[in-house]
Structure 1
Amino acid sequence: MDEIFDFFGKAVCHQIAERTFLASGRVLSVCARDTGIYLGIFSTLTYLCLFKKRPSMTIPSVKISMILLIFMLPLMIDGLGSYLHLFESSNLKRIVTGISFGMVLPYFLYPLLNVKAIESTSTPVITHSLDVLIPLVLSSALGGLVFFGVLPYLMIDGLIIVTIIGWFSLIASFVFSKIIIKRIKWAFSIMGSILFLTFLSILHQILIKG
């Protein structure tokens, strides 16, 4: 199982050991920043799938979108500053900024799965502060458990890899949007996601060896 997790983690992450958390004494398959990003994505997607299933739902309003974009700034600042050696980052900063960034993404992608998303009468996905607060609390709680090494390796790494595949499957579903039968559409989306991640992982390994 470790090899499978590591293989798919390699598709999206540099996997630098010192920038990665440990769980049950084992290194996770993605770095602290990517761990935060996918915990954020998982938390928001879970909330939206459970409580936001209206067919006439669309992306957040312009005002709310601007606020959400502010949530994404810390990762950009921390990542760029660290890359340019302007300041030192830490795994705590990486997971916090990753969560802040990742939890925002589903608000802009998930509503577009609805056929009526572009209609002017559609309701924005965020209508109450709880629509943001609940995913934020959930992702922060998960991040805290990871940071303090409370969660077992198989649970947290499995959650991250499933979220990675699920997120890329959601993106791939737009390619197969013309397929009417949902089961077939999602089967193709998942297979497409796995194939794409496999390609990225193999490419990563080739570039490292090269």
Structure 2
Amino acid sequence: MGHDQAQHGGKFAWSELDIFSAFVYGFGDLNCHQKHERSWVINENQMPVCTRDIGIFAGIFVGGLIFRKRGLNRWTIRDSIISVLPDEKVEPFYFNDRRFLLAFGGIALLLLPTALDGGIQAVSDYESTNLKRLITGFPMGVGVGLLFAGVFAANPKPFEFDAGRVILPANARLVPSVEPTDDKISEIATQTETDTTAGDSEE
């Protein structure tokens, strides 16, 4: 951290800046190489992150907005992610139980442009451009944004831990994978005994 940008064509080390600027550039340094030739310069100031990261952060913001507008808590992460898509479009994936493929395969496809652009650049003489980095970073950010939104949204508590209350496309239902606890079994047995006693009394 605090690397000297003069080594990459820049003119500063963020550790030499004022506290506010140092915080901004220090945050960028945590997740970005901050290479001068891969960053935009605005008003003679190099941005704290490269153009690809700008695309990624913009995509995360858009992914969050999409989930906020269309996303639902559907108990599981995969079903919560899928909820941003129209129900009628995803019904075939529920009929064939390919929801995992749709949710995480879709996110993988959104990551692919960045993986290809950055990967090919790393192992060959190909050199991307800042515009390409921005464009390929954006879908990755959307995927990351949707993933994090799905992770934070998925919560069984609003359904009182009853998977049968979750409404899914194609009238699909979640199957609880957790066995009933001893307390729950005792509660059911007590209720059954009470109902039986009440029935005998009526006779």
User: Which residue is 2:132 aligned to?
Assistant: 93
Q: 1:3 aligns with which of 2, 13, 22?
A: 22
Match of 2:57 in 1: 38
Structure 1 residues 89-128: Cα deviation after superposition (integer angstroms, max 9, x where no partner): 110111111111111112222122231399583658xxxx
Q: How does 1:98-113 map to 2 (within 5 A)?
A: 98-113=137-152
CA contact (8 A) 2:60 2:146 kept: no
Give the 3 Å change call, closer, same or farther, for CA 18–112 of structure 1 in structure 2. same
Tell me the number of residue pairs that the alignment of Structure 1 and Structure 2 aligns: 124
2:42 pairs with 1:20: no
| Counterpart in the other structure of 2:81 | 59
Query: 2:113 maps to what in 1?
Result: 74
Normalising by structure 1, we get a TM-score of 0.51
Give the unaligned 5+ runs of structure 1: 125-210
Give the Cα–Cα distance (whole angstroms) in 2 for the partners of residues 107 and 36 of structure 1.
15
Q: Which structure has the bigger radius of gyration?
A: 2
**Distance between the aligned counterparts of 2:42 and 2:70, measured in 1?**
31
Q: Do 2:59 and 2:145's aligned partners in 1 also have CA atoms closer than 8 Å? A: no
Change in Cα spacing, 1:36 to 1:111, as seen in structure 2 (3 Å) is same
Render the CA deviation track for 1:17-72: whole Å, top value 9, x for unaligned: 11001233321100111111111111111332354354656233323542332221
Runs of 4+ in structure 1 off by over 6 angstroms are none
Structure 2 residue runs without a partner (length 5+): 1-19, 83-98, 170-203
1:115 to 155, 168, 178: 155
CA contact (8 A) 1:58 1:123 kept: no
SS in 2 for 1:14: coil
Q: Is the 8 A contact 1:116 1:122 kept in 2?
A: no
Give the letter for the 1:48 counterpart.
F
Contact kept? 1:38, 1:102, Cα under 8 Å: yes
TM-score where L is the length of structure 2: 0.52
